[in-house]
């Protein structure tokens, strides 16, 4: 099966992996957070993958801007994971995994931006 160029990027693959992680952990969060923290972290995580995909179809300068936006969404996820951790919605292990994934994504996005 043929694929788009962005689908070959490791950072895109990591972003998709992170979306799966977010959906998995938020399924255990209280339903009272459905339209606040759950919705917000899902949208932010999805935004990372979407910005990589959309940005790849643009000029290098525009792609850099989309990568910057994706990186901002990663930072947003970190803040939400911290809030969720304080509320005991996450296990310490899941919080550490999510934080580690965000750190990895932020570094990969910075490297991609610098390579353009």
3: Cβ contacts below 8 Å, ≥ 6 apart: none
Q: Can you give the residue range of the structural domain that contains 67? A: 5-115
- Say how many domains are in the chain: 1
Asked if 37 and 80 count as a contact pair (C-beta separation under 8 A), the reply is yes
Per-residue pLDDT tens over the stretch 38-90: 999 999 999 999 999 999 999 999 999 999 999 999 999 999 999 999 999 99
pLDDT digits (tens, 9 = 90+) for 51-65: 999 999 999 999 999
Residue 1 reports pLDDT greater than 80 = no
Contact indicator for 45, 67 with CB cutoff of 8 Å: no
Domain with 86 in it: what CATH number?
1.20.1440.60
Is the pLDDT score of 91 beyond 90?
yes
């Amino acid at each position: 099966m043929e694929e788009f160029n962005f689908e070959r990027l490791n950072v895109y693959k990591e972003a998709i992996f992170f979306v799966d992680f977010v959906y998995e952990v938020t399924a255990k969060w209280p339903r009272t957070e459905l339209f606040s923290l759950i919705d917000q972290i899902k949208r932010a995580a999805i935004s990372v993958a979407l910005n990589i995909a959309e940005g790849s179809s643009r000029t290098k300068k525009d792609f850099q801007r989309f990568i910057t936006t994706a990186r901002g969404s990663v930072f947003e996820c970190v803040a939400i994971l911290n809030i969720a951790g304080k509320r005991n919605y996450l296990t310490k292990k899941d919080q550490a995994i999510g934080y580690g994934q965000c750190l990895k994504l932020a570094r990969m996005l910075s490297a991609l931006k610098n390579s353009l």
